[in-house]
């Protein structure tokens, strides 16, 4: 093993998932808003997971372990000056990694507080230089029905697709997570790289991404195709806008079991509220 524990071949992400994170990262607490809240335990955050490619229950850890994450090729293209196709190992050397503590608020009214190892999404976009005509960022996860059994269900619009506006994608709070709790990101949490947008409901934070594409027109997301009245495009957290089938005013902290008051934009309004000042039909911002 050479510097940072990287061999001359591919880094075996799945084998390292329980080991110390092999790349250098710094700490960034500029966006920390939870000085009096306990971190969710690693065991809880890595065992209670939504990953529909592997099933509709939260206990998908063992099934997700079947996903091979090395090598892992990522395509970044569309309306850009320089399209690239790059392996995860090479991408990780081109960005600056940080550990940041952020909330994750599920649309199902539960929440976590997690120490992520991340790089800003905008640093990835700067590698390809989006054109001025690029208005949206489209992200897709892998498609491998042999490995992910739920992808055999043809009534779902696989692969999982999510979309951000270009302004959201360039916001400093939109980030790509590659680690968690000082370790490589486990498969069930979205290895080897996943989106996290902490001011939005968790279904926006697409896992195990294989492509990023800059486009001029907004396509539908995975959940918009299925149940648009329940899981829309914007999905910004708002305690005053309920899900059609349950209240969003409170959330269960999975770490403590206690119920907390939900906050607008999940507590991150000071950094993201300005993104939506010109959006019409405001209620749709929170669905």
pLDDT at residue 8 in the model: 32
CA atoms of 160 and 226, how far apart (whole Å): 11
pLDDT band at 282 (very low <50, low <70, confident <90, very high): low
pLDDT of the residue at 6: 32
Question: H-type helices in 56-131, by residue range?
Answer: 61-64, 88-92, 121-126
CB 239 within 8 A of CB 228: no
Please check the confidence at residue 197 and state whether its pLDDT lies above 70.
Answer: yes
Mean pLDDT of 20-42: 94
214 beta partners: 78, 137
For 231, the token pair is 């899981």
Q: Which residues of 36-60 are buried (b: 16+ CB within 10 A; e: fewer)?
A: eeeebeeeebbebbbbbbbeeeeeb
Q: CB 115: neighbour CB atoms within 10 A?
A: 18
pLDDT given at position 284: 76
- pLDDT surpasses 90 at 16: no
Note the pLDDT of residue 97.
Answer: 98
Q: Using CA atoms, how far apart are residues 94 and 245, in angstroms rounded to an integer?
A: 44
Q: What is the mean pLDDT of residues 189-203?
A: 98
Is the bond preceding residue 192 a cis peptide, omega within 30 degrees?
A: yes
Residue 33 pLDDT greater than 50, yes or no: yes
Whether the Cβ atoms of residue 208 and residue 139 lie closer than 8 Å to each other: no
Place of tokens 């090479």: 90
**CA distance to 93, 160, 211, per residue, from 76 (Å):** 16, 17, 6
Would you state the pLDDT for residue 124?
Answer: 98
Burial classification of residue 195, based on how many CB atoms lie within 10 Å of its CB (0-12 exposed, 13-18 middle, 19 or more buried): buried
- C-alpha closest to that of 118 among 132, 100, 104: 100
- Indicate the pLDDT class of residue 285, thresholds 50, 70 and 90: confident
Instruction: List, for residues 72-101, the tens digit of each pLDDT value.
Output: 999 999 999 999 999 999 999 999 999 999
What is the phi-psi region of residue 129: left when phi exceeds 0, alpha when psi lies from -120 to 50, beta otherwise?
Answer: left
**Residue-averaged pLDDT of the chain:** 93
Q: What is the pTM of this model?
A: 0.92
pLDDT at 20: 84
Average pLDDT over residues 18-26: 85
Mean of pLDDT values over 222-229: 94
Q: Are 114 and 39 in contact (CB under 8 A)?
A: yes
* Least confident among 35-39, 85-89, 233-237: 35-39
How far is the C-alpha of 154 from the C-alpha of 148, rounded, in Å? 13
**CA distance linking residue 226 with residue 246, whole number of Å:** 18
pLDDT score of 279: 86
Rounded Cα distance, 237 and 48, in Å: 20
Q: Which class does domain 3-286 fall in?
A: alpha beta
């Amino acid at each position: 093993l050479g510097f940072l524990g990287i061999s001359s071949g591919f880094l075996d992400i799945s084998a390292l998932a329980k080991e110390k994170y092999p790349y250098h990262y710094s700490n960034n607490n500029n966006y920390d808003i939870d000085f009096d809240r306990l971190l969710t335990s690693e065991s809880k955050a890595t065992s209670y997971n939504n990953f529909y490619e592997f099933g509709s229950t939260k206990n998908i850890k063992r099934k997700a372990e079947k996903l091979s994450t090395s090598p892992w090729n990522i395509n970044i293209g569309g309306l850009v000056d320089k399209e690239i196709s790059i392996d995860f190992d090479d991408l990780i050397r081109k960005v600056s990694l940080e550990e940041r503590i952020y909330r994750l608020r599920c649309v199902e009214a539960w929440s976590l507080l997690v120490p992520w190892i991340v790089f800003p999404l905008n640093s990835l976009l700067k590698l390809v230089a989006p054109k001025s005509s690029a208005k949206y960022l489209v992200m897709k996860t892998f498609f491998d029905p042999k490995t992910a059994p739920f992808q055999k269900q043809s009534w779902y619009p696989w692969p999982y697709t999510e979309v951000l506006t270009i302004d959201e994608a360039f916001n400093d709070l939109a980030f790509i997570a590659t680690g968690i709790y000082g370790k490589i990101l486990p498969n069930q949490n979205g290895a080897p790289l996943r989106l996290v947008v902490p001011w939005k409901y968790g279904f926006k934070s697409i896992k195990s991404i294989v492509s990023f594409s800059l486009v001029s027109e907004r396509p539908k997301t995975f959940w918009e195709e299925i149940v648009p009245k329940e899981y829309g495009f914007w999905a910004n957290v708002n305690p005053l806008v309920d899900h059609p089938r349950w209240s969003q005013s409170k959330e269960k902290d999975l770490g403590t079991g206690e119920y907390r008051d939900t906050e607008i934009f999940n507590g991150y309004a000071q950094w993201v509220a300005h993104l939506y000042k010109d959006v019409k039909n405001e209620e749709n911002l929170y669905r």
